[in-house]
Amino acid sequence: MTDARRAIPRTDLVLADPRLAPAVAALGRSLVKDVVVRAQQRAREGLVAPAGVVDAVLAALPARASSLRPVINATGVVVHTNLGRAPLSEAAAAAVADATGWTDVEFDLRTGKRARRGRGALTALAAAVPAAGDVHVVNNNAAALLLCALVLAPGREIVISRGELVEIGDGFRIPDLLTSAGSRLREVGTTNRTHPRDYAEAIGPETGFVLRVHPSNFRVTGFAGTPDDAELAGLGVPLVVDVGSGLLAPHPLLPDEPDATSALRAGAAVVTASGDKLLGGPQAGLLLGAAELVHRLRRHPAARALRVDKLTLAALEATLLGPPPPVARALAADVADLRARAGELAGRLVAAGVDAVAVPSAAAVGGGGAPGVELPSAAVSLPERWASALRAGRPPVVGRVERGRCLLDLRTVDPADDGPLREAVLRCG
């Protein structure tokens, strides 16, 4: 008997099939070949007919060469670290697309000479925070803190409250980051209370700067307290404030969230922040502060290793100058509108035979910002089994599971995605 597997077409013949030519041109021969090999293996296992290998390849080809897949964030977490934090605005995405080719990122078209790198983004950032004497941008907030340690406290002490020795994402800890720069930590106070005198008594000839770190993802309540920035700014050494979340100015919905402008007005010498959290832009570390200190930070040799690329600069500038980004729109979403959307979506799903109901929900800021703050929202509640099915769909939809139900929180879903979200649910039915 002839083995049916002998009929499986060779790899080179499959790749030469005219139906795969557009995919080879768009995705590259290597990626398409990997999909072909997997389809051939499925044919050997009897899961695909030999004559259907090309069809199997066409069905399995990704839309793009990147393994990253766009998802619909229905978790209710506005700045979701695992989903890439802040989604870019249309203006920022267009700016990134424009920057993919040759650009004048470090070139003056008028004079034909070299120019300051990313001057447009830096000018926009300086305009957004007038209290800063100068600004600089590195690749993330951890890099901004690292640069401060390298420049202001090499081989010296950084005074920090024990209550601010925080751990950030994926197990990285602020103390380890700072000591890796050769600095020593001078811990003061206790976990729950630190007084101005604790800082003052710790300052000496070996002090490089005092550091304030915004605690991420937790709050200390009850018998707790810490000095404000103004109380620490007059101790005779630079005060560096890590506001973390990227809030550049006070936000009416987040009154307890520290912001860069307030810290600088209180006397901070340098403020560090993230670009891809509450600012709503690309991953970046923002350095804002006294002109002389920012100049020193910019000129340190490590600044070259920490600099951002042209795509980040383009997205950052467009975020600062363009319309409100998705994060800002999600924070400002009207609860009545969210409830109306949830009711309409649930109604259409019920009409299609889906067990769906509109329910009140509580969204969160996420990304370490405003820990403990709940944002009133609305969601569509489905049976729990929908959670995994939706994640496996195209596009994937990520919700959250509470009390045996899958909740699709609409605060983090763009209204333009309500239709695709409905279709995704129906495909899982």
The pair of structure tokens assigned to 111 is 């004079």
Average pLDDT of the segment spanning 379-390: 96
Strand partners, 159: 186, 210
The Cα-based distances of 256 to 148, 207, 232 in angstroms read: 25, 29, 18
The residue with tokens 């975020």 is 319
Which pTM does this prediction carry? 0.91
Residue 331's pLDDT is: 96
pLDDT band at 222 (very low <50, low <70, confident <90, very high): confident
Residue 3's pLDDT is: 64
pLDDT, tens digit, 9 for 90 and up, residues 188-216: 999 889 999 999 999 999 999 999 998 76
Of the chain, the end-to-end C-alpha distance in Å amounts to 43
Residue 1's pLDDT is: 46
Contact call for residues 141 and 240 (beta carbons, < 8 A): no
pLDDT band at 171 (very low <50, low <70, confident <90, very high): confident
Q: What are the start-end ranges of the E strands in 102-252?
A: 107-108, 113-114, 134-138, 157-161, 184-188, 207-213, 239-244
373 burial level (CB within 10 Å; 0-12, 13-18, 19+): middle
The residue with tokens 């957004």 is 128
Between CA 127 and CA 119 the distance in angstroms is 12
* Whether pLDDT at 48 is above 80: yes
Residue 343's pLDDT is: 97
The conformation of residue 236, written as its DSSP 8-state character, comes to S
The residue with tokens 């004559």 is 51
340 burial level (CB within 10 Å; 0-12, 13-18, 19+): middle
Decide: helix, strand or coil at residue 288.
strand
> Cis peptide before 227, with omega less than 30 degrees from 0?
no
pLDDT, tens digit, 9 for 90 and up, residues 321-338: 999 999 999 999 999 999
Between CA 128 and CA 261 the distance in angstroms is 9
The conformation of residue 223, written as its DSSP 8-state character, comes to S
353 burial level (CB within 10 Å; 0-12, 13-18, 19+): exposed
Distance from the Cα of residue 276 to its chain's centroid: 4
Question: What one-letter code names the amino acid at 105?
Answer: V
The pair of structure tokens assigned to 293 is 């200190």
Contact call for residues 218 and 207 (beta carbons, < 8 A): no
Enclosing H/E stretch for 374: strand 369-383
Contact call for residues 410 and 379 (beta carbons, < 8 A): yes
- In sign, the C-alpha dihedral spanning 191, 239, 372, 285 is negative
Contact call for residues 395 and 71 (beta carbons, < 8 A): yes
* Whether pLDDT at 225 is above 90: no
| Angle, helices 418-428/335-351, rounded to nearest 10 degrees | 30
Q: Identify which has the larger pLDDT, 224 or 381.
A: 381
| Angle, helices 291-299/141-152, rounded to nearest 10 degrees | 100
> Cis peptide before 252, with omega less than 30 degrees from 0?
no
Q: Identify which has the larger pLDDT, 367 or 5.
A: 367
Contact call for residues 326 and 398 (beta carbons, < 8 A): no
Contact call for residues 378 and 410 (beta carbons, < 8 A): yes
For residue 323, report the phi and psi dihedrals to the nearest 5 degrees. Answer: -70, 165
Nearest to 233 by CA among 290, 184, 149, 179: 290
The pair of structure tokens assigned to 176 is 């380890």
Contacts 24+ apart (CB under 8 A), 332-335: 332/253, 333/377, 333/411, 335/376, 335/377, 335/378
pLDDT band at 217 (very low <50, low <70, confident <90, very high): low
Strand partners, 286: 137, 273
Between CA 272 and CA 256 the distance in angstroms is 18
> For residue 305, how many other CB atoms are within 10 A of its CB?
12
Residue 152's pLDDT is: 97
